[in-house]
Amino acid sequence: MTKCILATGGAGYIGSHTTVELLRAGHSVVILDNFENSARDALASIPKIAGGGKIWLAEGDVRNARLVADVIQRHSVDAVIHFAGKKAVGESVADPLLYYHDNITGALSVLSAMRGTGCKRLVFSSSATVYGDVKMLPIPETAPTCSSNPYGRTKLMIEEIIDDFVASTDDFGALSLRYFNPVGAHPSGFIGESPIGTPNNLFPFIAQTAAGMRDMVQIFGNDYETRDGTGSRDYIHVVDLARGHVAAVEHLLSQTTNILPHRKVNLGTGKGHTVLEVLNTFSKVCGFQIPHRIVPRRPGDVGLSLADPSLAFGLFNWRAELGLDEMCRDHWRFQAATNEPRGRRRTRLGAEARWANRVWEDFESLGIAEGRNALA
């Protein structure tokens, strides 16, 4: 089944990894991105990592419904995966109107463009943030939703908009994927997460501390009811997450009759890891102890979050396969490959030359022989 998939925000962290997996699955991909929160250079690596495939880029704003419709018609798009949107919890609290405008307008634009062009399969990038502070663990999709921030509320509102739109049709199929904590990077080291400014999230902050860009990891509280008192999350490798999107969109495209109602589906591993467990694994991977200290809890944090991922397996036969070691190893490799040694403090690894060899050796072992040229 070779289809053409439109990935709005497809140059972003999860979008770029999903594009690689779509190409590897034999589909062609159109990326619509305005590069407001993504880098063009990620695109150059995608065909190389995927080993070929058809990929087009439409540079523009997803809030422009005519542009979205034009892209769908021009490429005879079979399904849309809607990633584009703002995703920083803290920023959404500081500027809620920006989040409601951008995220809701973007979703309405995609839906109206799909209606106008007869494109009838949608996967929406939602988030476990819609659950708020849920006591029942692991969290099933039937858990009550009540997000504690504007970002999470935009995700919830868009899910409800899709509910109503799907109910008004008899042939539109949609799935909303609720991500737990996406982390890691592609094992090639070519693509990964490059947060702008100081990272809020744990993995990029640890990686930048290990790279000598930050002095110390602050552990927000060690008095939670977890194995070691530090916060526990369901971290999922971004490549597993990407493969979940491929499985979800192929499931939708296989439905030609009896279109199922809009379903919300958790994408998580069902395994929790504490902050200290992540830190210790990262230290093992990079070969030295990463400096850290305990500080008071971060306001708004929940102590534990854990997915019940069984619906994804039941619905489209997907489950996460990569563990914490791979998450840390791949995240560290990307950090090592992208850190410009020139002009930055030397890392705790010492000479950057060791870094480069370390990264390129991995490329060769992965059979990506041209990795060296790509990085030169």
- Alpha-helical (H) ranges within 95-149 are 96-99, 105-117
Closest distance between ligand WQD and the C-beta of residue 103, in Å?
12
Q: Which is nearer to ligand WQD, 45 or 127 (CB)?
A: 127
* Side chain identity, residue 234: D
Q: Which is nearer to ligand WQD, 18 or 129 (CB)?
A: 129
**Cα separation, 37 vs 39, whole angstroms:** 7
**Cα separation, 345 vs 198, whole angstroms:** 17
Angle of CA points 74, 80, 84, to nearest 5°:
105
**Cα separation, 98 vs 89, whole angstroms:** 12
Closest distance between ligand WQD and the C-beta of residue 275, in Å?
4
Closest distance between ligand WQD and the C-beta of residue 87, in Å?
6
Q: Contacts from 362-369 at CB under 8 Å and sequence distance 24+?
A: 362/187, 362/189, 362/333, 363/188, 363/189, 366/187, 366/188, 368/48, 368/49, 368/188, 368/190
**Residues taking part in catalysis:** 151
Peptide bond into 138 cis (omega under 30): yes
Q: Which is nearer to ligand WQD, 145 or 181 (CB)?
A: 181
Q: Which is nearer to ligand WQD, 109 or 305 (CB)?
A: 305
**Cα separation, 187 vs 242, whole angstroms:** 13
Closest distance between ligand WQD and the C-beta of residue 200, in Å?
5
Q: Strand 232-233 and strand 273-274: pairing?
A: antiparallel
* Side chain identity, residue 252: L
Q: Which is nearer to ligand WQD, 55 or 88 (CB)?
A: 88
Closest distance between ligand WQD and the C-beta of residue 330, in Å?
16
Phi/psi for 197 (5° steps) reads 75, -155
Binding site for ligand WQD (CB under 6 A): 87, 89, 127, 129, 179, 181, 200-202, 205, 217-220, 231, 233, 275, 298, 301, 305
**Cα separation, 90 vs 187, whole angstroms:** 29
Q: Which is nearer to ligand WQD, 8 or 28 (CB)?
A: 8
Whether 76 contacts 22, CB under 8 Å = no
Closest distance between ligand WQD and the C-beta of residue 233, in Å?
5
Q: Which residue's Cβ has the minimum distance to ligand WQD? A: 231
